[in-house]
A and B are shown apart, each in its own frame.
Chain A
């Protein structure tokens, strides 16, 4: 089955890593991309402006009950978890922090795994905690594709390492290879 959605999780060093990766997704990229970055709970989402300037694809903050649109990059709002519903709409929640984080990568990945099953690609980037490890495992168990940034090249290796331990089936990749590989996978 082909990939119909991409989810990405990043923490410490994540803005830098995403700045290298997301601009590599070209206009016409055929599936939605959802991103959780751990950032402090400020109301304004500076990430959206930052990446809107860098990316070829439209970038926006995810809104509650919004239907996913192919070729759009959605960022989780600060201080809210981002979830995917089975009907491929987005949902927000202000539940407890998970792994001390809100938004939490695990929440996005687990709900996206549920919604997309084997048609999901999930990527864990640099970070200094264990968030995303459970989520990546859920993606792999649902038959989806797991990717982990090579810890050797990550600004902070803890998160990719934890993800690799939790989900040995995930592929470890250099940051610069991720966008081309996704594109090849989705178009091929």
Chain B
């Protein structure tokens, strides 16, 4: 089909955002990006995508709002409990053998996955020796992750997931309920470095033992997926683990040969030893 005017406008907007602000969405999966931009256009009452482009170039207060549209990711604590159960039962025994551990939650969004891992590591007695790196490109998301505050009405789901993941504390030990919000304990993020990092443009992060990056790769096109999988390969210690989303796969990646399947059904891979 011929490229529609809307598609041209989207390309121009993404180019503009990259050239002026160095946020690079040009290799994000286009269908999702388009839906989100059309939502933004509607919500802001613009007639065209070009008007968003003009606004974001001339008014830098628009950028954070645009980032929220382009990067909104929805997660929940202990999402896919069987993934966390597999980490607990199959990966943790390996991690125990290291005197110190580094864990990278790449694309941490509002921090649900980070707190899930922090609680799991605390339960398994690994928290003291672990440094977590929680990264995202969206400063607002990073701030939310750092705050660790979630609406109380989500806690029921989080608690259910936590139980199913094999949790052996009560989730309520890890937060304080206060009005309609749950504030997660500071102790869970004491050893976390929150940092602005782009999987698209930034470099490898160094010697991780576990990288958890779930439901992020699906938002990228094939080319960018390849780059990011390569980056994960470079960032993992030999024998380190990589967890991705349950419907994601390294199968088609040019860097697939860096990894072996570790828990196949949970999409947990291991960096080959050699």
Contact = CB atoms under 8 A, between A and B. Distances in A.
Q: Label chain B's interface by main secondary structure.
A: loop
Contacts of B222: 65
B198 interface: no
A131 interface: no
A43 B82 CA distance: 9
B248 to A, nearest CB: 6
Contacts, number: 65
A85 B30 contact: yes
Interface in B76-95: 80, 82
Interface residues of B, number: 29
A94 B75 CA distance: 8
Nearest to A96: B74
A141 interface: no
Which of B215, B217, B219, B247 is packed against the most chain A CB atoms within 10 Å? B247
B170 to A, nearest CB: 24
B34 A114 contact: yes
A179 B82 CA distance: 39
Nearest to A98: B35
Interface of B: 1, 4, 7, 29-32, 34-36, 72-75, 80, 82, 215, 217-219, 221-222, 225, 245-249, 252
27 contacts: A43-B80, A43-B246, A63-B249, A64-B218, A64-B247, A65-B252, A80-B218, A83-B31, A85-B29, A85-B31, A86-B31, A91-B29, A92-B218, A93-B29, A93-B32, A93-B219, A94-B74, A94-B215, A95-B32, A95-B35, A95-B36, A95-B72, A96-B72, A107-B35, A114-B31, A115-B1, A117-B1
